[in-house]
Structure 1
Amino acid sequence: MAVYDVIVVGMGPVGTVTACLLGRAGLRVAVIEREMAIFDKPRAIVLDHEALRVLQACGVTADFFDTLAPHTGTDFLGVDGQLIKLFDPKPPPFELGWPPNMMFIQPYLEAALDDAMAKYPNVERRRGWTVTAIDQDEQGVRVEAATAEGRRTIEARWIVGADGANSTVRRAAGIGVDDLDFKEWWIVVDAWLTGPADLPRKTTQYCWPDRPATFVVGPQNLRRWEIKLLPGDDLEALQDEGAIREILRRYVDVTACNIWRSAVYRFRAAVATQWRSGRMFLAGDAAHTMPPFLAQGLCAGLRDAANIAWKLEQVERHGTAASLLDSYEIERKPHVTEIVRHAKAFGLIIGELDRERALARDTVLAEQLRTGAVSTERQAFIPPLHQGFLENGCPSAGQVFVQPRILRDGREHLMDDVIGPSFAVFANAEALDALDASLVREWLRIGGTLLLSGDEAEEAPIETLDESDGRVAGWLERESKAAVIVRPDRYVYGAADDGRALATMMADLLRQLAPDRMVTAGDIA
């Protein structure tokens, strides 16, 4: 019977990304998927800059990134067709190395991730496996699956359920779901434009009480409509393409469209009551579902993957205390719950069916737009981490750290591609000079790196951060800090005023990872 470090259930983007990140770390991984092939129709359509950075970490190639298209922004139109709210695409420079939002085609992403996963010989793919039972004890988990060849059983130390909203792993763990009180039926139609069509240049929210809808400008000639279904609509009839075209007529010349996919969905807002049960973890839709109005469902799932992957790596590869894994739920559950609540709020704005309330809404939103009372950047609604594996009391902790372009071997690279998926200290020379040799050895033991900002490193293990755009130096200056510690998932652990504070913070971090080791800040210069 095969024994793995981690079993991942589900080979959608969240499961595949989890497997890639664990594979990159050298862990033995089995990925189980009941379907024999990639689903060949679009579902998610927006990736934000955090998600793109995670895909970069997975080794997704430029061939996929070349298929992306910039998000053109979003207009919200009121009852009378007037602009009541908007999101503008943020112009360069891009702090995380990627535009804040890009449009993509999901089958292309899944194929690219499948190719990336194939690069890791320590990751084994098991398509056509349907999980029938999961058991766990203090040593690990045992999974039974039905396959075309018969029943199979595999074991691992941990399991991650990225198996969707109807998660088998969640049920096996006995975990419930908190309903956040949003349930609406919508039809989603993806179509290729085949001829001239008088359509908005930007993604548009039609906040019309007689038929709310969303129009999405996808990559290439792909366009999407999400249309709210009203009391009295016949859901069965909407299986017919003629009925679908009839409902589309209000928004587009249907003779200029070739429908690729249509599906009726019940948009929901819900979060799992727990994200961990012993050796079992939930990620992606298994842990949370949200309406699509903030375009964060998949992005949130990829944050889950990045978070749990580095923590499992620390435990399995660096001997870190397993208590680190408790921080997964502590960090991710409140973070995604806040995003789900924002998505629900936008859904209520867009989907209002009462004309008088819609008119009142329009008045309030138009005034907010006029006065600038509400941000027009979509990313303003994505919070930092507020608790978990972070330096207590540090205002900078929980931010996503910047990603500059750095010079190496005469060429520019995105920073993450060069420094790798490790803990990293970015600091000025004075702060790094203050570190005791024994503290540095402990830092290197967990795979950490030390990078000098604003000067040339004289010797290993300190590396020169030769950035072409000054993004790290600018961050330290804005925060008035001498140093910052960044986690493997690129969230800020904490920032320090000087070398003494940096040494204390590093020692505290190391003690949390390995409580049985005697780690001190040492003699500080």
Structure 2
Amino acid sequence: MSTNNSVEHPQSPTPARGRNVDVVIVGLGPTGATAANLLGQRGISTVVVERDATIYPRQRAIASDEDAHRVWQGLGLFDEMQKTMSSDIRVHFKHGNRTFMSMQGNESRGQGVPGTAFYHQPELERVLREGIARFPTVQVLSGVEAIGLTQDTDSVTLTLRPVDGGADQTITSQYVIACDGGSSSIRKMLGIALPGKHIEEPWFDIQLRSWYDLPSEAPLDFTFISDPKRPGVDCPCPMGYHRVEFRVNKGETVEQLQTEAGLRGLLAERGINYDDVEIYRSWGYTFHIRQAEQWSTGRAFLAGDAAHIMPPFAGQGVSSGVRDVANLCWKLDAVLNAGAGSELLKSYEPERRLNVEQLTKFSLRIGGMVMLGSNAASHVRDAAFMAAAKAPLVGNWLTGIGLKPLYRLGTDGGFFAGAPARRSPRGTFIKQPWVSGADHTPVRLDTVLDNRWTWVGFPESPIPPWLAAAGVTEVKLEYSSAIATHHVPAGHYVDTERVLERQMRRSRARGVLIRPDRFIYGSDRDLSSADIDRVAASVVAGVPLTAHPS
């Protein structure tokens, strides 16, 4: 892949009037580009509408987590992304000269990918856009904006206007996904409110570039400056970029801080010499905390910042958008290609909203730690965290990934087994260990799952006949002792580290039904006759996803 940010796509600034496609995506940021790859991977005819002609150059987001990485891995893009990412992350909370807490950022709760990665956003978007070019069913229309939307029971029609002038055109699709950010024009056209609040306290960002390239394998130390005099963030990024953020104190203005004197003074507070770096960009902003009242109307769906905006402290903006479209796109595939009822799409918001609410609270908790208003409270905080970090169990939880909410889908209104047994694993992801087949070559579990409905079970729990009849794939597990005998039957796999065995034993399961998004629909203890028709109607049979261009 090239390193030019101006990725070319098949495009037409004046699409034919009334052209019919399955899905239109509005917005080509990380959320929209991921959705386009997911739909292209499934052979769904898709048009992406993007106002900007080239990738936006500012580094708006800098981080992603294991949930997004696993989705990108399934798209065959994560290896390319990692060439310019840094995934050895350490997070520090510092007050004055004292670091009162440090956390490791590479844990992933068994998902088999790095827990955190930092990147230069234009590079991330370059890889995603070049990924779209693999799929002939996806077309990108850049330099065009959506200015009107109408829909009926069968379709959605968008009115498009070239940014540089020209006649308005229309495009008709079965569904629309709005990935056009916090100021989403599609959300406004749908009349969906975005209630919430913004933090009045202004902040100021400086994106600079140092005169060296930081190797992607080098560890990155992300630091929260937790000082009541001026809280902020200090983050070295890959490719020589560096992001520093400051609260704008009383008596200061963004305009003053953007002068050479203002920039020199702020950088000096962090020990950075203005003359040793290149100031790439600087800007002021305020934090927003908002959630759309509903995430869909008719055949139009909101995703990413169009649906929810959270504070930046937990770095979850991009990953949350990727989670959204990973949940939505396999369901669109089931409706469009398997004949599943459209009621399946109603499970999108109930499943995803819970996690967004939890992560918003998590981000606010981190912000509260960083932005304490007095020295006295800050010293109490420092002492409390330093003492807690020394406690054996609490310390491991606190300095690892324990503070971050576990990604669970909302099961109330979700698409899961309807009669869960006690300790049911439904709504949680299947972990991703290395597994070995008959040739003893280790592969990641997701390579075997291949983004399809799959039954994963041990010998005593083979796939139920009704699932096999519906086209569900079976992954047959052998216990780890099988590897000692060097005998693994063809079509069987062994998890040598017993990750899946432990996961199933905790839920008292011997087999689990996995949805295309890697989440567990239910275990052998959960499924009943009521699930037969629901599942069978959502299984897309035919060409495996790995047969699509990669």
Superposed pair shares fold, TM > 0.5: yes
Task: Please tell me whether the aligned partners of residues 212 and 240 of structure 2 are also in contact (alpha carbons under 8 angstroms).
Answer: no
Residue type matched to 2:254 in 1? L
- Cα separation, partners in 2 of 1:232 and 1:511, compared to 1, 3 Å: farther
Which of the numbers 492, 496, 501 marks the counterpart of 2:520?
A: 492
Q: Which is further off, 356-365 or 169-178? A: 356-365
Task: Please tell me whether the aligned partners of residues 195 and 257 of structure 1 are also in contact (alpha carbons under 8 angstroms).
Answer: no
Residue type matched to 1:272 in 2? A
Partner residue of 1:385? 409
Task: Please tell me whether the aligned partners of residues 72 and 217 of structure 1 are also in contact (alpha carbons under 8 angstroms).
Answer: no
In the TM superposition, what are the counterparts of 1:115-130 in structure 2 within 5 Å? 115-130=130-145
Which of the numbers 229, 242, 246 marks the counterpart of 2:248?
A: 229
Q: Which is further off, 280-289 or 59-68? A: 59-68
Shift of 1:159: 0.5
Runs (5+) with no aligned partner, structure 1? 518-525
Shift of 1:510: 3.8
Shift of 1:110: 0.6
Partner residue of 2:272? 253
Task: Please tell me whether the aligned partners of residues 64 and 118 of structure 2 are also in contact (alpha carbons under 8 angstroms).
Answer: yes
CA distance, structure 1, for counterparts of residue 424 and residue 505 of structure 2 = 15
Residue type matched to 1:67 in 2? T
Q: Which is further off, 156-165 or 399-408? A: 399-408
CA distance, structure 2, for counterparts of residue 196 and residue 366 of structure 1 = 34
Shift of 1:48: 0.9
Partner residue of 2:542? none
Which of the numbers 395, 418, 427 marks the counterpart of 2:457?
A: 427
CA distance, structure 2, for counterparts of residue 278 and residue 509 of structure 1 = 26
CA distance, structure 1, for counterparts of residue 368 and residue 209 of structure 2 = 29
Partner residue of 2:477? 453
Q: Write the deviation string for residues 52-73 of structure 1: whole angstroms up to 9, x where unpaired.
A: 1111122316332222112421
Task: Please tell me whether the aligned partners of residues 213 and 239 of structure 2 are also in contact (alpha carbons under 8 angstroms).
Answer: no
Q: Which is further off, 477-486 or 158-167? A: 477-486
Identity %: 27
- Cα separation, partners in 2 of 1:378 and 1:293, compared to 1, 3 Å: farther
Task: Please tell me whether the aligned partners of residues 338 and 537 of structure 2 are also in contact (alpha carbons under 8 angstroms).
Answer: no
Which of the numbers 293, 299, 308 marks the counterpart of 2:313?
A: 293
CA distance, structure 1, for counterparts of residue 106 and residue 180 of structure 2 = 33
Shift of 1:125: 0.5
- Cα separation, partners in 2 of 1:142 and 1:253, compared to 1, 3 Å: same
Residue type matched to 1:401 in 2? I
Q: Indicate yes or no: 2:46 matched with 1:29.
A: yes
Partner residue of 1:396? 425
Shift of 1:191: 2.0
Which of the numbers 361, 365, 376 marks the counterpart of 1:345?
A: 365
In the TM superposition, what are the counterparts of 1:125-144 in structure 2 within 5 Å? 125-144=140-159
Q: Indicate yes or no: 2:197 matched with 1:171.
A: no
Task: Please tell me whether the aligned partners of residues 14 and 305 of structure 1 are also in contact (alpha carbons under 8 angstroms).
Answer: yes
Q: Write the deviation string for residues 178-202 of structure 1: whole angstroms up to 9, x where unpaired.
A: 31564432112222222799xx962
Task: Please tell me whether the aligned partners of residues 49 and 98 of structure 1 are also in contact (alpha carbons under 8 angstroms).
Answer: yes
Partner residue of 2:326? 306
Task: Please tell me whether the aligned partners of residues 404 and 471 of structure 1 are also in contact (alpha carbons under 8 angstroms).
Answer: yes
CA distance, structure 2, for counterparts of residue 317 and residue 259 of structure 1 = 50
Partner residue of 2:544? none
Partner residue of 1:240? 259
In the TM superposition, what are the counterparts of 1:82-231 in structure 2 within 5 Å? 82-90=98-106, 95-147=110-162, 148-179=165-196, 182-194=199-211, 202-231=221-250
Task: Please tell me whether the aligned partners of residues 178 and 186 of structure 2 are also in contact (alpha carbons under 8 angstroms).
Answer: yes
CA distance, structure 2, for counterparts of residue 183 and residue 230 of structure 1 = 12
CA distance, structure 2, for counterparts of residue 186 and residue 59 of structure 1 = 37
CA distance, structure 1, for counterparts of residue 213 and residue 434 of structure 2 = 40
Q: Write the deviation string for residues 439-482 of structure 1: whole angstroms up to 9, x where unpaired.
A: 4212x0xxx311100078978xxx42355654333432444320
Q: Write the deviation string for residues 73-114 of structure 1: whole angstroms up to 9, x where unpaired.
A: 111123x533333322346x9721211111111111111111
Q: Write the deviation string for residues 266-321 of structure 1: whole angstroms up to 9, x where unpaired.
A: 12111111111111111111111112211111111110010011111111111111
With the length of structure 1 as denominator, give the TM-score of the two structures: 0.88
Task: Please tell me whether the aligned partners of residues 21 and 57 of structure 1 are also in contact (alpha carbons under 8 angstroms).
Answer: no
Shift of 1:513: 4.6
CA distance, structure 1, for counterparts of residue 71 and residue 259 of structure 2 = 39
Shift of 1:332: 1.0
CA distance, structure 2, for counterparts of residue 283 and residue 238 of structure 1 = 34
In the TM superposition, what are the counterparts of 1:465-476 in structure 2 within 5 Å? 465-467=493-495, 469-476=497-504
Shift of 1:3: 0.6
SS at match of 1:134: strand
- Cα separation, partners in 2 of 1:449 and 1:380, compared to 1, 3 Å: farther
Partner residue of 2:55? 38
- Cα separation, partners in 2 of 1:142 and 1:379, compared to 1, 3 Å: farther
Residue type matched to 1:139 in 2? D
CA distance, structure 2, for counterparts of residue 18 and residue 380 of structure 1 = 29
Which of the numbers 389, 395, 399 marks the counterpart of 1:376?
A: 399
Partner residue of 1:365? 385
- Cα separation, partners in 2 of 1:103 and 1:509, compared to 1, 3 Å: farther
Which of the numbers 43, 47, 50 marks the counterpart of 2:67?
A: 50
Q: CA RMSD in A?
A: 2.7
Task: Please tell me whether the aligned partners of residues 467 and 536 of structure 2 are also in contact (alpha carbons under 8 angstroms).
Answer: no
Task: Please tell me whether the aligned partners of residues 294 and 378 of structure 1 are also in contact (alpha carbons under 8 angstroms).
Answer: no
Partner residue of 1:415? 445
Task: Please tell me whether the aligned partners of residues 144 and 152 of structure 1 are also in contact (alpha carbons under 8 angstroms).
Answer: yes
SS at match of 2:398: coil
Residue type matched to 2:73 in 1? Q
Residue type matched to 1:342 in 2? F
SS at match of 1:307: helix
Task: Please tell me whether the aligned partners of residues 73 and 79 of structure 2 are also in contact (alpha carbons under 8 angstroms).
Answer: no
Partner residue of 1:334? 354
Q: Indicate yes or no: 2:22 matched with 1:2.
A: no
Shift of 1:344: 1.4
Partner residue of 2:13? none
Q: Write the deviation string for residues 421-456 of structure 1: whole angstroms up to 9, x where unpaired.
A: 1111110122116x23x44212x0xxx311100078
Partner residue of 1:512? 534
- Cα separation, partners in 2 of 1:366 and 1:10, compared to 1, 3 Å: same
SS at match of 1:69: coil
Partner residue of 1:520? none
CA distance, structure 2, for counterparts of residue 231 and residue 458 of structure 1 = 70
CA distance, structure 2, for counterparts of residue 155 and residue 362 of structure 1 = 57
Task: Please tell me whether the aligned partners of residues 71 and 322 of structure 2 are also in contact (alpha carbons under 8 angstroms).
Answer: yes
